[in-house]
Structure 1
Amino acid sequence: MSPRRAPEDRAPSQVDVARLAGVSAQTVSRVMSGLDNVRPDTARRVHSAVEQLGYRVHAAAASLASGRTRILGVIVVSTDRYSSAALGVGIEQAAAANGYTVTTAAVADHASTDAFLDAFDRLERQGAEGIVLGVPIELDSPSMRTRTQRTPATRTDRVTLETGAPLAVDQNEIARLAVEHLLDLGHQTVWHVSGDEYWAETVQRRQVWEQVLIERGITPPPVIPGDWTPESGYRAGRTIAAIPGATAVFVSSDEMAFGVIRALHEAGRNVPEEVSVVSVDDIALAAYASPALTTVRQPFEALGRAAALRLIAEIEGTDPVGDIPPITPTLVVRSSTAPPPA
């Protein structure tokens, strides 16, 4: 008589797997938990039965049995920026490769510190064993330190896996690459469309833009404010179009650069023949803009993977696993930059 299969009107259970494999339910549990105190031929029979039945481990039951949830929490700012989505992809990839799932808590743009703390508490209640802080502000407060002492946490601007290393994408290098590219083409000065002042990277990029100009003996022109959206870029582009001597602009994100280019085009200022535009991020659409956008690439997915792998290593008490490609900004030269008009 062949072993009984699970009835078609319900999902297969651990008991069904045990019957088909000819072992006990406890043995199935040990195999599915990855324990090594099971004979290889027995483990093979269990895995074969799992495949035949289409059995899937119930996460809640597994957590009760092991005392582990294998959940990573992620706190993000509620935004439609490409960078946030790409960062999430990297976190999900690293989590899945190491047997973790991801749950996310979103907070409003310009949220208070209390809102971030509430999000942290919410993820803890959902069983997160560690939390990735994908937020733009420093949270070095006694309240946050208390939380990270009980639940491991890491920030997404940490990009190496060595404990205690200075971990941030080099925003100074991003700005330097962009501004020096335009000056090396022969432009006499570079205007700057900044990001949202709420974000630390906005301040860093603006400071280095000013520094590079001063190093070249150039007085920085006024900053043109933006807020990361294409609409703010469009408004900035209208301002630049009205400045006859403006031939080069450093825009703090690709999405804003799309708005800048649209406004320049409507004003009859050709890019790059009259105005060169360089931006930051290298989102998927940058290569297909008209003209194709010169930009400084940020490796968002690699950054998300690095943050997740670092966090998993801290949770497991092990060395980080997985290969992380170099996480450095790269200038990608396309068609939106050229020497200034004669």
Structure 2
Amino acid sequence: MTDEKQARSANIFDVARLAGVSHQTVSRVLNDLPNVRPATRARVEQAIAQLRYSPSPAARALVTRRTRTIGLVAPGVSDYGPTSVATAFNFAARAERYSVETVSALDPDPAAVREVIESLLRQRVDAIVLIVVDIGVLEVVRGLDLSIPVVAAAATARRSPLIVSIDQYRGARSAVRHLAELGHTRILHLAGPQRAPDAVERIRGWRDELGARRLEVVEPRHGDWSAASGYRLGADLEIDPGTAVFASNDHMSIGLLSALRERGLRVPEDVSVVGFDDVPEAGYLYPALTTVRQDFASLGELMMQKVLIAVEEPDSVTEDTPLPTHLIVRNSTRPQRHGTAQA
């Protein structure tokens, strides 16, 4: 490779690889930010000189106009997952010396979403981050022609370089696989809201895993993520021998456990239950809840990393693989026993 060609093709990731650091560290050196060790700074500067790297003129122009402020559009709910992601994102932004302006999108109506976005643009934010809990919000933002990057945390089968997510689909399949391997032949699903991307992907995973195993598919029943909705749906679920229940989140599982107990049904003796999220209380329920753990902290950090790349090296933005989930097996599931469940 000639020096001229190398200079044209080198990017921030090449510098990071040569220096043995993260691209965030390279960014901090380029922007003369503190909290970089002198030896690390020297190594990065040597790599920059060796590669003859310089940010693109467009990226440099963006740097000079930056306010180091990010607009966060958070859902107007206090659900565990979105709240955890927002908290992690704020910590990650603070570590990069960015401030965050948070607004709540209470209504997925297109006009309301546009109004929220416009309010952030008036504050001259460098980027906008969305935590998507309604597919309508994502659809609206995709239709806007914005001059700044928009990074979304959204579970969707339609991938994009500016979308980050946790793999809801494979997480749901792992929950159903666990129940099927325990011998359960009828696996019901208490789903989340119909317009929630996470719920849509979990339904898709549940349905595909059942189909792959040629097991009965009973149409899911929808709740609203709350324990109250899990209790309501669990009050009249048809529980036959071989039945298990995959609930779309842990709070719905909590309500379900209460409803089953009131009906005289034992968990896991009469019916196995799996949740999703691994909320802090999950291991202290009775019985302790088998669930699918999501790494909300890593998702928040990934959102911030994506913002940095989109702002500082827009030509280097690439699509990310969804973060994996992990099945946490506790006491709410057990191998299926032959017999008759209590009514």
Q: Same fold (TM over 0.5)?
A: yes
From 234, 250, 258, the counterpart of 2:231 = 234
Query: Is residue 257 from structure 1 mapped to residue 253 from structure 2 by the alignment?
Result: yes
The equivalent residue for 1:248 is: 244
Tell me the distance in 1 between the aligned counterparts of 2:199 and 2:329. 22
Tell me the distance in 2 between the aligned counterparts of 1:111 and 1:245. 41
Determine helix, strand or coil for the equivalent of 2:222. coil
- Runs of 4+ in structure 1 off by over 4 angstroms are 33-36, 140-143
Task: Classify 1:332/1:325 alpha carbon distance in 2 versus 1 (closer, same or farther; 3 Å).
Answer: farther
Tell me the distance in 2 between the aligned counterparts of 1:296 and 1:142. 30
* 1:317-332 mapped onto 2 (5 Å cutoff): 317=313, 327-332=323-328
CA shift, 1:208, in A, is 2.4
Determine helix, strand or coil for the equivalent of 1:331. strand
Gaps of 5+ in 2: 1-30, 39-63, 339-343
From 326, 329, 335, the counterpart of 1:333 = 329
CA shift, 1:226, in A, is 1.0
CA contact (8 A) 1:278 1:294 kept: yes
Task: Classify 1:238/1:246 alpha carbon distance in 2 versus 1 (closer, same or farther; 3 Å).
Answer: farther
Q: Number of paired residues?
A: 274
Amino acid at match of 2:302: A
CA deviation map 1:205-229 (0-9, x unaligned): 2122122222222221232221111
Tell me the distance in 2 between the aligned counterparts of 1:333 and 1:119. 41
Task: Classify 1:276/1:284 alpha carbon distance in 2 versus 1 (closer, same or farther; 3 Å).
Answer: same
Determine helix, strand or coil for the equivalent of 2:235. helix
Tell me the distance in 2 between the aligned counterparts of 1:144 and 1:228. 28
The equivalent residue for 1:191 is: 188
CA deviation map 1:297-328 (0-9, x unaligned): 111111111011111222223899xxx99921
Task: Classify 1:173/1:82 alpha carbon distance in 2 versus 1 (closer, same or farther; 3 Å).
Answer: same
CA deviation map 1:170-206 (0-9, x unaligned): 2220111000100100111101100000112222221
Determine helix, strand or coil for the equivalent of 1:239. coil
Determine helix, strand or coil for the equivalent of 1:132. strand
Q: Normalising by the residue count of structure 2, what TM-score does the alignment of the two structures yield?
A: 0.72
- Of the structure 1 ranges 219-228 and 87-96, higher mean CA displacement relative to structure 2 is found in 219-228
The equivalent residue for 1:211 is: 208
CA contact (8 A) 2:184 2:242 kept: no
* 1:90-239 mapped onto 2 (5 Å cutoff): 90-108=88-106, 111-136=108-133, 137=135, 139-140=138-139, 144-147=143-146, 150-157=147-154, 164=161, 167-239=164-236
Tell me the distance in 2 between the aligned counterparts of 1:158 and 1:199. 9
Whichever of the two has the greater Rg, that structure is: 1
Determine helix, strand or coil for the equivalent of 1:179. helix
From 290, 305, 308, the counterpart of 1:309 = 305
Tell me the distance in 1 between the aligned counterparts of 2:203 and 2:322. 25
CA contact (8 A) 2:183 2:242 kept: no
The equivalent residue for 1:74 is: 72
CA contact (8 A) 2:152 2:162 kept: no
CA contact (8 A) 1:195 1:253 kept: yes
CA contact (8 A) 1:297 1:329 kept: yes
CA contact (8 A) 1:261 1:271 kept: yes
CA contact (8 A) 1:130 1:312 kept: no
Tell me the distance in 1 between the aligned counterparts of 2:322 and 2:91. 17
CA deviation map 1:235-268 (0-9, x unaligned): 111122x534463100000111000001111111
CA contact (8 A) 1:158 1:307 kept: no
From 260, 283, 289, the counterpart of 2:285 = 289
Task: Classify 1:176/1:251 alpha carbon distance in 2 versus 1 (closer, same or farther; 3 Å).
Answer: same
Task: Classify 1:293/1:106 alpha carbon distance in 2 versus 1 (closer, same or farther; 3 Å).
Answer: same
From 269, 290, 293, the counterpart of 2:265 = 269
Percent of matched pairs sharing the same residue? 35
Task: Classify 1:335/1:85 alpha carbon distance in 2 versus 1 (closer, same or farther; 3 Å).
Answer: same
CA shift, 1:126, in A, is 2.2
Amino acid at match of 2:209: V
CA contact (8 A) 2:227 2:254 kept: yes
CA contact (8 A) 2:282 2:288 kept: yes
Tell me the distance in 1 between the aligned counterparts of 2:196 and 2:140. 18
CA shift, 1:127, in A, is 2.8
Amino acid at match of 2:265: R
Task: Classify 1:186/1:107 alpha carbon distance in 2 versus 1 (closer, same or farther; 3 Å).
Answer: same
Amino acid at match of 2:145: T
